[in-house]
Amino acid sequence: MRHSFRFSSIARAACVVFIVGCNDPAQPFAQGEIRLAALTFARIAPSGADVRYTVANPSATSVRITTRCGDALMPAIEQLSGNRWRQYSSGGCLAIYDMSPVDLDPGAQREGVVHIRESGQYRLVLGTDGGSLVSSAFTIE
């Protein structure tokens, strides 16, 4: 039993060192941004609203985007509920499509569209190796 405790303590310590080592404050997170076509979108009943967005990399280094499906980026959609953001949709991807990370080169941008059926306030979240890119909040009327 003592051997098991010692091993798990060593494993926990190694994880802490790994996590802290990966979060070196001297290394800035990758810079990117999600730009929206508008801050208010009209919902066309019964189908909803198409929210057009652009993911841009204004930085001097590549941004590795980790959430994609084939040629499309796959941002999660969060909805404001009270004073908290909750996951509304994270999309889905068939296994036949490439889901490996894709680099967004310096100065490059990619366009996309998400579909939202319900009225409310939302934001888009896109995963990268350096953290999450989060759009401005927008409204579906």
Tokens (6 digits) for 110? 């990619």
Give the pTM: 0.76
Q: Give the count of alpha carbons within 13 A of 37, CB side only.
A: 13
Q: Compute CA 115 distance to the chain's CA centroid, rounded to the nearest angstrom.
A: 16
Residue 32 burial class via C-beta count within 10 angstroms: exposed 0-12, middle 13-18, buried 19 and up: buried
Alpha-carbon dihedral sign for residues 37, 138, 77, 58: positive
Amino acid at 22: C
Set out the domains of the chain in order of their start, with CATH numbers.
29-140 (2.60.40.1930)
pLDDT tens across the length of the chain (141 residues)? 454 444 444 444 333 333 333 443 333 344 789 999 999 999 987 789 999 999 999 999 999 999 889 999 999 999 999 999 999 998 788 999 999 999 999 999 999 999 999 999 999 999 998 899 999 999 999
Q: Give the count of alpha carbons within 13 A of 71, CB side only.
A: 3
Q: Please answer whether residues 120 and 140 qualify as being in contact, where contact means their C-beta atoms are separated by less than 8 angstroms.
A: yes
